[in-house]
């Protein structure tokens, strides 16, 4: 066994002072084939426990409504997955990891370890940007570790006092895969009334994966063989009849330009820390797309407005993610880009909202 050096320890103490929850990290990586194990410890002061037991709970929840809408007993929050373990009197005895050893030394005596395996099929942490007048917790998917005192781990008749609990929010995250795929290409040929020849629109990118904050160049080519004028495509360029336009434009989707956009998907937050646009959800092969939670995808939409003839449109899917930090092993072998954004609540009900981002073209960087 080797020792583990932890730069920072996260801890939270209950209101009664009897429970102190310790974690060595709050970001747990989904490697597609597996997810980092959640290892932690709880330090106990048992003098006021009586016959009550100590449990630790890990829950993944989907909040699809704000706190001010929780009226008449309705709660716009659904537990996607939940697991409990009893640590006192000692029942749960995990295999000690280097993280456990480090935390046990840090916390001292009367400390009990716990472990959780996060299922691979759970969604990643996502937060929806609230509006200026929204109150309470933001909508989205979050993971919470909670230790608490109770007679039973989940009795509906037992009310657990807030002072008998300690909670920490954690995040399930994904990093960009090590392999970058070929850039997507799309083309369309559209004919119009009163014109013998069509308008051709082609668009392509160099690769399918870009990092947050990275400029995304898109090569577009417009071959207007018709007798119609392409009036504009967000950069107010005019393409005359029987002419060709070809250019490479660059956009950079960033949160800083979209602070006021309500409902924008962001990476999960920890307290008031800064965050960024949500990363693309990467699904392992064979996983059903009808999973609970939020699946995020991006696509670039190129739209030509043709005088008297309607629009000509192509779309390019892309992955927008964080690079993998040094030292993190990539266990993924295959990746699948999910091209839809789903908010299923159960098999028969869905919370409808559109999180597919259409990125307008401009000679400078414009907000999405």
The answer on 162 and 106 residing in a single domain is: yes
Specify the higher pLDDT residue, 354 or 137.
137
Q: Please state whether 277 falls in left (phi above 0), alpha (psi between -120 and 50) or beta.
A: beta
The answer on 165 and 75 residing in a single domain is: yes
Say how far apart CA 40 and CA 26 lie, in whole Å.
11
The answer on 148 and 20 residing in a single domain is: yes
Domain that holds residue 137: 10-173
The answer on 222 and 142 residing in a single domain is: no
> Domain for residue 224, yes or no?
yes
Say how far apart CA 122 and CA 171 lie, in whole Å.
12
Mean pLDDT of 143-170: 88
The answer on 244 and 101 residing in a single domain is: no
The answer on 321 and 258 residing in a single domain is: yes
Mean pLDDT of 278-303: 79
Mean pLDDT of 98-116: 93
Q: What is the pLDDT of residue 349?
A: 30
> Domain for residue 264, yes or no?
yes
The answer on 330 and 216 residing in a single domain is: yes
* Backbone phi and psi for residue 103, each to the nearest 5 degrees, phi listed first: -70, -35
Q: What percentage of the chain reaches a pLDDT higher than 90?
A: 33
> Domain for residue 360, yes or no?
no
pLDDT confidence tier of residue 70, bands split at 50, 70 and 90: low
Q: What is the pLDDT of residue 35?
A: 92
Q: What is the tally of structural domains in the chain?
A: 2
At 324, which CATH number? 2.60.40.640
> Domain for residue 2, yes or no?
no
The answer on 58 and 157 residing in a single domain is: yes
Say how far apart CA 139 and CA 62 lie, in whole Å.
8
Mean pLDDT of 259-267: 84
> Domain for residue 318, yes or no?
yes
> Domain for residue 362, yes or no?
no
Q: What is the pTM of this model?
A: 0.76
Model pLDDT for residues 213-230, shown as the tens digit of each residue = 899 999 999 888 887 777
User: Is the CB of residue 295 less than 8 Å from the CB of residue 281?
Assistant: yes
The answer on 211 and 88 residing in a single domain is: no
């Amino acid at each position: 066994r080797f020792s583990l050096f932890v730069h920072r320890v996260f801890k939270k103490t209950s209101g009664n002072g009897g429970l102190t929850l310790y974690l060595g990290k709050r970001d747990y990586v989904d490697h597609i084939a597996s997810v980092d194990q959640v290892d932690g410890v709880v330090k106990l002061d048992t003098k006021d426990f009586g016959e009550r037991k100590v449990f630790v709970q890990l829950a993944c929840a989907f909040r699809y409504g704000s706190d001010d809408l929780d009226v008449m007993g309705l709660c716009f929050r659904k537990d996607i997955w939940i697991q409990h373990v009893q640590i006192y009197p000692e029942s749960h005895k995990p295999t000690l990891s280097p993280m456990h050893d480090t935390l046990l030394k840090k916390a001292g005596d009367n400390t009990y370890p716990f472990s959780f395996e996060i299922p691979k099929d759970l969604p990643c942490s996502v937060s929806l940007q609230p509006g200026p007048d929204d109150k309470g917790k933001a909508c989205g998917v979050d993971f919470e570790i909670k230790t608490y005192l109770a007679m039973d781990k989940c009795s509906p008749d037992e009310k657990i006092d807030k002072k008998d609990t300690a909670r920490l929010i954690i995040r399930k995250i994904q990093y960009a895969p090590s392999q970058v795929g070929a850039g997507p290409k799309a083309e369309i040929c559209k004919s119009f009334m009163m014109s013998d020849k069509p308008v051709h629109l082609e668009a392509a990118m160099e690769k399918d994966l870009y990092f947050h904050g990275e400029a995304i160049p898109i090569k577009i080519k417009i071959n207007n063989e018709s007798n119609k004028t392409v009036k504009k495509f967000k950069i107010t360029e005019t393409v005359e009849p029987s002419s060709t336009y070809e250019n490479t434009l660059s956009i950079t989707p960033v949160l800083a330009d979209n602070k006021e956009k309500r409902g924008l998907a962001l990476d999960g937050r920890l307290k008031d820390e800064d965050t960024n646009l949500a990363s693309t959800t990467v699904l392992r092969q064979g996983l059903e797309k009808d999973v609970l939670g939020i699946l995020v995808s991006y696509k670039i939409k190129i739209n030509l407005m043709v005088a008297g003839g309607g629009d000509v449109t192509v779309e390019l899917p892309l992955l927008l993610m964080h690079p993998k930090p040094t030292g993190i092993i990539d266990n993924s072998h295959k990746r699948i880009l999910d091209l839809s954004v789903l908010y299923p609540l159960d098999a028969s009900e869905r919370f409808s909202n559109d999180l597919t981002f259409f990125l307008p073209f401009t000679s400078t960087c414009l907000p999405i």
